[in-house]
Chains A and B, each alone.
Chain A
């Protein structure tokens, strides 16, 4: 057994070994030694203009690094805050719109140093500081401003100081401080924000590209391309897709209104390697509307638009990562490009310089607005946002060889990343044809690296007749709850429709999966809500398992990511309700299951494999002489009638009742059959008897889902009717059929795909 094998691989030894062998050995050998480094991709200090407004007036990026390393700092309201588990790395991401100051005067060759005024500002002795200060103060009192001080040449100097502080906090091997900033684009209250990370602080530009330059992400990517060409490696992380009003993951047109094309997709893929899946203002994995069959989808859902514009609410489709991953597959199938092969990170978006990661140490994220417990628990409306809906920060794990800027950046670049909801849960995911074989060996990680790909990668060719298998592993945070289960979330696409399904892979205790659904029953709960406590008497310390896709079809695009759940623990609102002496708020759950998400592994069929499947497209129908129905024909076909429709991809047959009052209800929904991307709500509502409005307009039936209109165009070929729906990329997947005699004849099992 491995119990006494002594690993003398301290960091120093490994670092020198790395240096010696790096020229000789392939990446995979080094990869076997990768460790998980936890860090922060998203935090603001008093240098962010809005943080300053929230009362964070005294702290700088240097304080954020101190906090990350474990030092106590002050909350903007004056009380002490301290991190529970110090971090391995951090990038401070203050907003890029900075003010100018005077230090460039002391930099020979800088624009301001060349000005005559600089002579007065240069410091030769400590006494000069007082002299300069009084001189500056005097000019203000006398209302004789120093024009040179307010010119744009100095605008970069705060960024320069920021870089200096990162350099100072950076301790290779111990703690990595990145040079980074936030590009803060919020057109029409839509969160389009990106955090930009640089690999090497020595190469950063004098000033960052800000949202004042452009609020369009493709302009940011163009600028990033230019930087990369100059040898300055960098990447962007999108965040708060959940607050983007459907604009974070478009499928048809970009922010300029131009059709999305291969160049746009390539540019996004090249620059935007990662996306933030959870932070203080909510999770962006998925939404119960989009994933009605995922019983864990309702996790820290936050519905909000920045600035709380009246008369609007955010659109759900286009705002969540799982759907973007699915749409990316469908786009790859239909158009041969995938803009959404994104890895996952977690972050905070704290504006307090310090970051709360734990349910039992939650002090808000916005200075005075949510920093006081009673105000927070009263459901204070912070610019329209109920502070009880906020939650602790997410966290990022990177699998890297060593704790240095270069090594960690490369991990982000290759998407060997995972996100957690806050605890330091460690998770691994490997995929390949034979990767599961070695799982019981003591050095299974080495074997997995050698025979498969880690999270963030693409499955290698599997060989004929082989399905991909996966190894998942998770280790609990020693200061948090035990583990409940590890799941694999699979997405796939066929004929422009994309689907998802969740498989329980390994779990704690002696639970038996449901005979028919395969779902493992809930683990139960040890939470005492009144006492806001729990015990680790259920759940596992460590989980490890293998899984081979039982429904694998080599002709279909697919992705797989692992989701690990902790046992239920009290949410921060339950803990603070006890402290304040009130009942836990009823608009949020009393308990939550902390979790971790690995970046996905993708499967892409070869061109030859792909051609074996092809559905009917609108172009095919037109070639057969189909005519598109106009408004009158659509009216005649559906209004006041019930139509039976067959989804030709899934084989599912369902009914749609169209009322004359403009409501439609989907009936006879088969709960077991995966529903195509973005129509979860319509089907879900159907099984509950809740209708959805529809209208016939410009030759299409328009249904609105989560604030987003969906259009179905109906074509007539001979005496048959086919429909094509938006978001299915040119396929016509629905056929009007006669009323069936039986929906599920016992002798005809529906084929799973």
Chain B
């Protein structure tokens, strides 16, 4: 079936280099997106706040979840950026403060106390010259704190857009996916179709809402509010091709520095959604951050579904015909 779809210009599945062109924009600007580099995210939630303010998203309740510093829980109708906080009993990639003093026998040293204790010797050679890290060395309890700002992926093959029956969801000239709130009738199909759990229905409003990648700001040449407000540039906005290039370099540098956990998520045009417009550099498996490890756009299988439904409809006719075939 994959081959059959490729024959149709990857309308439903597979790589699609010209996503705006395929959507009917002849002279579209380059596709834009986000590269969220979680290795420099500090969990300040400025993106969440900036997004809420710029897009005038209503409050969705104050509650403490007990999930580290995350009280947003996840993406939804009223949270278009969500900072995940993961606490792990694992050392940070590559961290080695060099103050373990493995070669010192403290009991032997204590036994000499009060007698003629020798003057402390020079610092071990492995110790850093000036800075001392507060982190404990390997072998003791260690903690790493992963933070990651999640957002709508603006998929190349967006299931929400494919299944929307009203045309409220559409592809913009920038290759992003946006809901027209004056068209949406709140059928909720996109909510079940999204493989990332991004879009959701606002309860008192009935319509669905999600990140627009600040379509209004893009139109006048500004970058989205979250990227603008990010103090560490963990959220980077720009042309997707450029971001992918930058991300690959960043991963290579992190690997060279010993951070072997670093990996990209959603950047490959060969993945199940044809590559995400918003992709990530993660320091652990995607599911640890609440992301699906191998999402596939549900409409990949739609031709097969229609075929089975057609055969099933024919079988129903056949059953009825068999029922009428013989007079009782």
Say whether A and B bind each other: no
| Residues in chain A within 8 A of chain B (CB atoms) | none
| Residues in chain B within 8 A of chain A (CB atoms) | none
